[in-house]
């Protein structure tokens, strides 16, 4: 499963900021990192970022989509946060975009409708629904693609959620959950799940020339790690 994640814009992108100067990319990046962290807990998942992970450069959209297409990604998710007039106002809400045309990317429609309700719950903001638009990353990608608008940076109400790291983390995880559900991904096993599985594991430390040498090694492991190690003669 190849998943492309894209934090929209970059730190130097003109106009992409709150009225008091907080850059959109910082919100986008926080959501992306939360989504990536959760997705990487699942089996056979590869994640590719097509924005600049430092935010210092606004990678051209053409470069982003060409990289995703060349990598033959299965899905493309672009993270954004909205603005209306650039001055504080009473508008607000979250929305998920899909391409308005009839192309293969329209397969992303079902994914968008899974993402949107989780997005609303995570941010605690108005539901502006799933919308269609002729956006480059939706039009020029050869795989299902969605673009997220996780709230208005110039909204007096939305900005409270955008400045809350837990809300941004919840947003990223909600988007990841939708991808996980849509593609029925399987979580990687953990040591805890191995312990609960009823499996038994044998620790083999080596073969020794004498019982005394083996006992010295066992005593060292016991002293260093608190392990109980038994010396058994090979048959």
Per-residue pLDDT of the chain (235 residues; tens, 9 = 90+): 999 999 999 999 999 999 999 999 999 999 999 999 999 999 999 999 999 999 999 999 999 999 999 999 999 999 999 999 999 999 999 999 999 875 545 566 899 999 999 999 999 999 999 999 999 999 999 999 999 999 999 999 999 999 999 999 999 999 999 999 999 999 998 665 555 555 555 555 566 566 776 676 677 666 655 666 677 776 5
Domains of the chain plus CATH, in order, are 2-183 (3.40.630.40)
pLDDT at 172: 98
* Predicted local confidence at residue 219, as pLDDT: 72
Chain position carrying tokens 């719950």:
121
State residue 162's pLDDT score: 98
pLDDT in the model for residue 101? 78
Which residues, 6 or more positions from 75, have their beta carbon under 8 angstroms from its beta carbon? Answer: 2, 3, 4, 108, 111, 143, 144, 145, 146, 179, 183
Read off the pTM.
Answer: 0.80
């Amino acid at each position: 499963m190849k998943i492309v994640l894209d934090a929209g814009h970059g730190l130097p992108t003109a106009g992409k900021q709150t009225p008091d100067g907080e850059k959109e990319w910082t919100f986008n990046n926080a959501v992306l990192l939360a989504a990536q962290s959760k997705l990487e807990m699942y089996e056979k998942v590869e994640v590719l970022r097509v924005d600049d992970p430092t935010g210092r450069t606004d990678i051209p959209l053409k470069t982003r989509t060409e990289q995703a297409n060349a990598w033959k990604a299965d899905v493309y998710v672009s993270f954004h946060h909205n603005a209306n007039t650039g001055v504080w106002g009473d508008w607000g809400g979250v929305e998920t975009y899909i391409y308005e045309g009839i192309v293969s990317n329209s397969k992303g429609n079902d994914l968008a409708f899974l993402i949107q309700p989780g997005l609303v719950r995570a941010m605690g903001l108005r539901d502006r629904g799933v919308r269609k638009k002729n956006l480059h990353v939706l039009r020029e990608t050869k795989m299902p693609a969605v673009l997220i608008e996780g709230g208005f940076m110039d909204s007096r109400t939305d900005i409270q959620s955008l400045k809350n790291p837990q809300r941004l983390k919840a947003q990223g995880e909600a988007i990841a959950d939708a991808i996980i559900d849509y593609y029925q991904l399987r979580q990687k096993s953990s040591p805890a799940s191995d312990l609960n599985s009823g499996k038994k594991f044998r620790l083999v430390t080596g073969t020794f020339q004498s019982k005394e040498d083996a006992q010295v090694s066992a005593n060292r492991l016991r002293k260093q790690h608190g392990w109980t190690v038994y010396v058994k003669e090979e048959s």
